[in-house]
Amino acid sequence: MGFAQWGGKLLAYRDKPREDAAPAPRRGAAARPTERRSIREEHRELTRKRIITAARSLFVDKNYIATTIDDIAEAAGIGRATFYLHFQSKDEVLQAVLDEGMDHQRALYQKLATLNEPTRVELRKWVEQYFNAFRSHYASLRLFMFVIGLDGSHIGVFSKNRDRYIALLGEGHAAFRLPAPAQERELRRVAAHRQLYRMEQLASYLASPGKMLDRSACVDCATDALQAYLAER
């Protein structure tokens, strides 16, 4: 209770030390509950990331089907109960792993969308970054391929994400904008999907071991194709 609430009758005692008075709050004390919540949230996010990282490694190295929730919890350094505070099932962790990989792709397309009337040099640099990202996340790429083989319905999920990438790219490049008339819109949508799919397939090929095509030539080919597509409209 503050002094202002006690009323004027206590003003005479404002300078008199009292043994039973609570110590005055230190500066910044009011922010502590918020700080504690922030620390808890940060710890929760770090734990979630540990689970996703551990699950990704196990899904790739051990196989998704053979991996158990106990395996994931042990690899993440947590208990089974803690796992269930973040995920309800192994399938839910798998979706989080896949979503993380798609977030990396989205960031790359976001960067391409911000390139205003890019030169061939700028486009080639972006294609290099795109291919490098696939190589850096090769483990996730292998997992994508496994998931599609396990359940073909996931192709629809990836297709919907590609629609989102197209919408994102359309904000910066007219070639990716879909017109209003339904028939023309679908034709442009298919063309945009084909462009992104070809990029993904070539990047996947270069990321895999045992490739036989020259990387520099692949980058040049992808750059030319992208530049030609952007110039269509």
Same domain, 76 and 105: no
pLDDT of residue 37: 62
Extract the runs of DSSP E, i.e. beta strands, from the chain.
none
CATH value at residue 73: 1.10.10.60
**Residue 126: count of CB within 10 angstroms of its CB:** 19
| Structural domain range at position 63 | 25-88
Same domain, 128 and 67: no
Q: Of 67, 88, 109, which marks where a domain is finished? A: 88
Q: Count structural domains, the chain.
A: 2
Distant-in-sequence contacts of 113-120, Cβ < 8 A, 24+ apart:
113/168, 113/169, 113/171, 113/172, 113/173, 114/172, 115/172, 116/172, 118/230, 120/223, 120/227
Do residues 93 and 52 lie in contact, with contact meaning Cβ atoms separated by under 8 Å? yes
pLDDT of residue 187: 93
State which residues of the chain have pLDDT below 50.
1-31, 33-34
pLDDT tens per residue across span 192-230: 999 999 999 999 889 888 778 899 999 999 999 999 999
pLDDT of residue 29: 47
Q: What is the pTM of this model?
A: 0.69
Same domain, 107 and 205: yes
